[in-house]
Amino acid sequence: MKIYSKSLLNQYSQSLTYDDISLIPTEISRIKSRAETKINCEFLDLNLSLPVISSPMDTVTGIEMAKALTVQGCLGILNRFDSSLNEVLTKKTDGVKGVSIALNTSLDDIKKLAENGYIICIDTANANNKEVLKKTEEIKKACDVKIIVGNIAQGDSLSQLEISGVDAIRVGIGGGSVCTTSIQTGIGIGQVSSILDVISKRDEKKLKIKIIADGGIKSPGDIAKAIALGADVVMLGRMLAGTRETPGEVIKYADQLWKKYRGSASFGVKMRNEFIEGEETMIPYKGAVKNVIDGISDGLKSSMSYMNCLSLDELKSKDTFAVLSNSSYLERLPKK
Ligand code: IMP
């Protein structure tokens, strides 16, 4: 079997996603226990306990989720439709560190967010757009603030994004679990190939922009893969959806508890007969988000102990991947 480095994987003839690859532990690990591994990281001047940020979706990050994630050492990005957005605009809200805005959010409002020390995320579907670059430049001229924009599927525009003032870029088009963009438009490539392309362009051009692996992450193992590919942090929608802290009611149906999860471009959000690029679904109720975060932390640490990595930087430097045949992939799944 061929062992793929990131560079070889990036040249693979087809577009790849998380289920197509696997990490190969080739070294004798010096790690005695998972507890020795450190999964903290620096992200846009924040010290995160683990490399996880929440998606600014209306069924994922309301104020309660943003605060709970801060307690867990992650970053929550409050969705721009949230009823608490006005409160966040007017005063520094404890425990809230990130906020999403629209392209047409006024500069006055953005200045208030900057003064209150929030990171802002310009929440659009396509970062490769003149309006997004113009808005980023405008904001950077007017205030001192860290800016996340999204999304891109490929890295050719990375220098322009960084020059316009983008501090972190969301990578992934079409990979979100409630995303119908690829079906509706034919756009998008597999997440692994997207991340590899963007990171190789960043390294080639010696850029500083942070990379957020956004969409399609289903498990702690996918998070380990994303970081090993070189992503700085992951952005989660579905993995956090259905937890107690997400906005919305718990619903009882067919003897089970559920919560709603929907795309930002779904009919339920737009409530208009516009072009729809997102689905709406129900997720089994998961209880406290802390349980999900603990599971991610354990999985990531275990992966690092297999891979002989004490820190996330060591994990990012790993260069031993397998491309799985479909049967190898199926073999990896637990059997009933
Ligand atoms: P998930 O973690 O796989 O559920 O993906 C979450 C990501 O899907 C978000 O962070 C967005 O990048 C993307 N996304 C959210 N809503 C939509 C939508 O309506 N259409 C397309 N992509 C979406």
Q: Is 297 helix (H, G, I), strand (E, B) or coil?
A: helix
The answer to the question of residue 1 being in a domain is no
| Domain CATH for 68 | 3.20.20.70
Q: What is the distance in A from the centroid of ligand 1 to the CA of 12?
A: 26
Does residue 239 lie within any of the structural domains? Answer: yes
Please tell me the predicted confidence (pLDDT) of residue 267: 86
- pLDDT digits (tens), the chain, 336 positions: 999 999 999 999 999 999 999 999 999 999 999 999 999 999 999 999 999 999 999 999 999 999 999 999 999 999 999 999 888 988 889 999 999 999 999 999 999 999 999 999 999 999 999 999 999 999 999 999 999 999 999 999 999 999 999 999 999 999 999 999 999 999 999 999 999 999 999 999 999 999 999 999 999 999 999 999 999 999 999 999 999 999 999 999 999 999 999 999 998 888 777 788 999 999 999 999 999 999 999 999 999 999 999 999 999 999 999 999 999 999 999 998
Whole-structure pTM over 0.95, yes or no? yes
Domain range for 296: 6-331
The answer to whether position 336 is within a domain reads no
What does DSSP say about strands 256-262 and 98-101: parallel, antiparallel, or unpaired? unpaired
What does the pLDDT read at residue 89?
A: 87
Can 309 be counted among the known catalytic residues?
no
* 151 within a domain of the structure (yes/no): yes
Find the catalytic residue in 41, 74, 121, 179: 179
DSSP β-bridge partners for residue 60: none
| Minimal-distance CA residue to ligand 1 atom 2 | 237
pLDDT at 274: 79
Give me 146's structure tokens: 């860290």
- Please report, for residues 176, 215, 240, the alpha-carbon distance to residue 218 in angstroms, rounded to integers and kept in the order given: 10, 9, 10
Q: How many domains does the chain divide into?
A: 1
Let me know if residue 292 belongs to a domain. Answer: yes
Measuring from atom 21 of ligand 1, which residue has the nearest CA? 179
Residue 174 has phi, psi (to 5 degrees) of 90, -5
Inter-CA distances, 149 with 4, 7, 104, 164, 211, Å: 30, 26, 14, 11, 10
Q: Could you tell me if residue 200 is inside a domain?
A: yes
Q: Could you tell me if 150 and 124 are in contact, meaning their C-beta atoms sit under 8 angstroms apart?
A: yes
Q: 148 lies in a domain?
A: yes
Alpha-carbon gap, residue 288 to 82, rounded angstroms: 20
